[in-house]
Amino acid sequence: MSDIEALKKAVPPFQIFDLIPQYAEQGFIDPERIDLLKWAGVYPQRPQEDGFLMMRVRVPAAEFSSATMREVANIAEEYGRGFLDVTDRQAFQFHWLTIQDIPRIFERLEPLGLHPKGACGDTVRAVIASPLAGLDAREIIDVRPLAHAMEGTLTGNPDFQDLPRKFKMSITAVPELEGIHMINDIGFLAHRVNGEVGFDVWVGGGLGAVAHLSKRLGVFIRPEEVVEVGQAITAAYRDHGYRQNRKKSRLKFLIKDLGVEKFREIVENDYLGRRLQDGPAAPVARFGGNDVLGVNPQADGLNYVVVATTVGRIDPTKARVLADLADRYGKGVLRTTAFQNMVIPHVATENVEALSAELAAINLAPKATIRGTTIACTGNQFCRLALTETKARTAALVDHLEPLTLAMDVPFTINLTGCSNACTRYQVADLGFMGANKTDKDGTVHEVYNVHLAGSIGQAQRTGTKLKGAVPAEQLNAYAEAVLADFQANKHAGESFVEYADRVGAEQFTPDAVLGGREAVTA
């Protein structure tokens, strides 16, 4: 039994909420129980010996009020040195917190409806809900009520506080646009079969060092079955998932060993007590690994505006401006997306130009560019596991590439992660960069990036090809620019990068092939 498994058996993980006030009062955390902080969304940040903490906060159904946005900005400013991130699971993340701050922050979050409980740890994480829910005319069903029901039933439920590892869920309802279900432990994807609205269910997705895309359970379930089926699958994982080796404890490994048919049989026989209806696959999203960017029409004649944050980092001043703009031009609500962006819905067409101009003034213009399709993890600025810097480097990369890619007729995805844990999905991007360290003979350590090419959770539904060699951090801009220049110069009209890479072959994109003879450039 691993140390964390022993700890979970000794102390029910959600008991950490009873211990945090004690730790805050005494000014330090019991080192033997520090890992339980994850169940409250809290981690030690780098350098751990300084005692500062980072915190993730779930945003149920990805929707919140402008007043909530202002208070989140205030918390970041008052306690977190002005650092505020939007994560790729639609959460907010704070940094530079102390254990003395945590109880006061909890008190301020509670009336907002934001929840740190279950934001991390071996439990049901935040349920990703479609940011288009209730907005886009192509939507099959508004999934927000179901997302809230799953949050209330599964996330934070003591019955699921001790899972073998973290457990991620998503629910979406625009199948031709969204592909996020491919990388979650459970993904519910709405579609119509013979005129009836229901859900295609996918299980066993997960990335990390060993990536698996999810597999269809082969069912078609009605909306009223979603929460029950979600509970049954989660319980089956809790009871049958592996606990001896944490590297193989995710649901994806259980599905791999059992097969999806056997796993379905266990769920039906042992947890539901009935057989689920068979069903066909939902439609495939060609560019499912991207947000729907820019200004988009709603079913009610209004518009939703997607704001590209630039790798998820947004300072409190801009956050408060966004809240004001949501009040002035929308209905005082905002949303987060699974691609580190934000949405202002309910904007009248006659106000779109004025809103866009005000957003441009704070460098948040709603443009459909590479700025909105590039994501980056926390990196070694704060994360104890990361090997490389990510946020600032990727933001600089976006600034460098954006003017060069404005004429592209298809989206292009860049995901950059500071280690192999895939917090920002490097295996399923057009260009996926995984941070690593390279040590010279003299002991000098250099930051480099391994390249995973042409992965996709859209039409291709595959992980990318890991290329030979690595890109030195100082040549990241040069490498990405050269790949994009080659793509733009030689692609066919409407051809995606996945299709192009398949046509020309991956070998021409190896770091040596692309950077051979080039001088290093400042990243």
CB-based contacts of 185: which residues, under 8 Å, 6+ apart?
Answer: 167, 168, 169, 203, 204, 205, 206, 214, 233, 237, 250, 251, 252
State pLDDT tens for residues 220-254. Answer: 999 999 999 999 999 999 999 999 999 999 999 99
How far apart, in whole angstroms, are the C-alpha atoms of residue 157 and residue 161?
A: 6
How far apart, in whole angstroms, are the C-alpha atoms of residue 132 and residue 420?
A: 30
State pLDDT tens for residues 166-219. Answer: 999 999 999 889 999 999 999 999 999 999 999 999 999 999 999 999 999 999
- Mean pLDDT calculated for residue range 104-132: 96
State pLDDT tens for residues 414-454. Answer: 999 999 999 999 999 999 999 999 999 999 999 999 999 99
State pLDDT tens for residues 19-36. Answer: 999 999 999 999 999 999
Q: pLDDT at residue 520 above 50?
A: no
pLDDT of res. 233: 98
Least confident of 51-60, 86-95, 349-358, 512-521: 512-521
DSSP code at position 312: T
| Alpha helices (H) along 308-426 | 316-329, 349-361, 391-401
pLDDT of res. 176: 87
Mean pLDDT of the chain: 96
Beta-carbon count within 10 A of 177 CB: 22
Q: Which helix (H) or strand (E) holds 73?
A: helix 66-79
**Type of residue at 506:** A
State pLDDT tens for residues 331-344. Answer: 999 999 999 999 99
The answer for 498, left when phi > 0, alpha when psi is -120 to 50, beta otherwise, is: alpha
**How do 431-439 and 414-417 pair as beta strands?**
parallel
pLDDT of res. 523: 38
CA 477 → CA 195, 374, 474, 481, 515, distances in Å?
49, 13, 8, 6, 11
3-state DSSP call for residue 494? coil
pLDDT of res. 518: 55
pLDDT of res. 517: 53
- Mean pLDDT calculated for residue range 48-68: 96
How far apart, in whole angstroms, are the C-alpha atoms of residue 217 and residue 271?
A: 15
State pLDDT tens for residues 251-279. Answer: 999 999 999 999 999 999 999 999 999 99
Beta partners for residue 279, in sequence order: none
Q: Report residue 487's pLDDT band, with 50, 70 and 90 as the boundaries.
A: very high
